[in-house]
Amino acid sequence: MSLQETDKKYIANTYNRFPVSIVSGKGSVVKDENGKEYIDLGSGIGVTSFGIADDVWQTAITEQIAKVQHMSNLYYTEPCARLAEMLCEKTGMKKVFFSNSGAEANECAIKIARKYAFDKYGKDRYTIVTLKNSFHGRTLTTLSATGQEHYHELFNPLTPGFTSVDMGDLDALNKIHAETPVAGVLIECIQGEGGVLPIDADFIKSLNAWCNENDVLFMVDEVQTGNGRTGEFYAYMNYGVTPDVVSTAKGLAGGLPLGATLIGEKAQSVLGFGDHGSTFGGNPVCCAAAVSIVKRIDSALLADVKEKSKAVFEALQGAKGVESVSGMGLMIGIKPVRPAAEIVKEVMDKGVLCLTAKDKVRLLPALNIPQETLLKAVEIIKNACANV
Ligand SMILES: *Cc1c(COP(=O)(O)O)cnc(C)c1O
């Protein structure tokens, strides 16, 4: 059996894979089993922050693997403490809980909001409000948080105590709070899976203010938007808001599984011994990888992300067959006249890997992709869009 046949036979049928096996790569160029090269504008859905098999990242991992690859959370290890310190210094947050994925980072955020409200207001204040069209993960509770019905239908009953409101609808939020008191509000500043859809800046500020007035935790899901992706370390920093809780994962460890939930001053003491835990969370190899990534997301790199973003927007805005371009930094959505999936397939044949999100072609290239490589790939996408 070929590799693809074996995969089809034995792997659960949840992914509709392209008929391509990726075998190796370097930076933003990957190779398939036939030696064909692709410019990678997907970076494993925003995970390989500094590209494939990056040298600095590899060294950080191999050095840590040679020391200790895993220890239970019963003991101290260096990389997770260093990483937590770096994340708190970059954000002003006070505490970090490490897990293994975006969904788990959000689960932790939700538990913090529930316990914060329980400790202060008792058992009836537990509702978590999210936005329509959001995406917060695939576990049953983060599916419940996800404001898209079509993810829910087949898996009822979901975790109770979740509801979602339309972007801009503070009235709905007030109404919910009056009927079923709210413990936390969880939002993405730019909805990724929802179609690279930026949330209105004034609404983000109003939500933060509303949360402060009502002593409700303001929580930002930075799983996709975080760790340099938008040209700031976290996307919320573009809006002058101060979240109480931040969840992140995807690009944090540059390609190893790591989730983090950052907790601000207000809720820093909510989690006590035994309230939460994870066997693999804070794994020293994943954390050493993340230290090497976070170290390099400095002001020069962020300025570079913004610069490259500008070049992509300029190349695509108003181009033939392109209805609109959305997003921020190196999280970019292109709405083509043609179906997005058609464009993605076509440019793959021409040596470019990119993603879709709803009706958009979605780009999440490595943060350090050379501008020349990026623009070469964007030109190929532009030509495919123009072919209407
Ligand atoms: C990908 C994503 C998640 C889920 O992350 P996993 O690591 O797949 O669990 C949650 N929230 C957002 C915004 C995401 O983009």
The residue nearest atom 10 of ligand 1, judged by CA position, is: 136
> Which domains are assigned to the chain?
3-54+298-386 (3.90.1150.10), 68-294 (3.40.640.10)
Question: What are the tokens at 263?
Answer: 């907790």
Q: Is 141's C-beta closer than 6 angstroms to any atom of ligand 1?
A: no
Secondary structure of residue 142 in the 3-state scheme: helix
Q: Is 137's C-beta closer than 6 angstroms to any atom of ligand 1?
A: yes
For a substitution probing ligand 1, which of 45, 133, 135, 190 has the most ligand atoms within 8 Å of its CB? 135
H helical segments located in 92-200: 102-121, 140-145, 149-152, 170-179
Q: Each residue of 229-268: pLDDT tens digit?
A: 999 999 999 999 999 999 999 999 999 999 999 999 999 9
Residues 6+ apart with CB under 8 A from 314: none
Residues 320 and 385 sit within 8 Å (Cβ to Cβ): yes
Q: Is 100's C-beta closer than 6 angstroms to any atom of ligand 1?
A: no
Mean pLDDT per 10-residue section of the chain, whose length is 388 residues: 95 96 98 97 98 98 98 97 98 98 98 98 98 98 96 94 98 98 98 98 98 98 98 98 98 98 98 97 98 98 98 98 98 98 98 98 98 98 97
The residue nearest atom 5 of ligand 1, judged by CA position, is: 102
Q: Each residue of 277-323: pLDDT tens digit?
A: 999 999 999 999 999 999 999 999 999 999 999 999 999 999 999 99
CB atoms within 10 A of CB 58: 14
Nearest to 160 by CA among 183, 137, 180, 144: 144
Q: Each residue of 171-195: pLDDT tens digit?
A: 999 999 999 999 999 999 999 999 9
The residue nearest atom 15 of ligand 1, judged by CA position, is: 224
- Has this prediction a pTM greater than 0.75? yes
Angle between helices 170-179 and 201-214 (to 10 degrees): 20
Q: What is the model's pLDDT at position 354?
A: 98
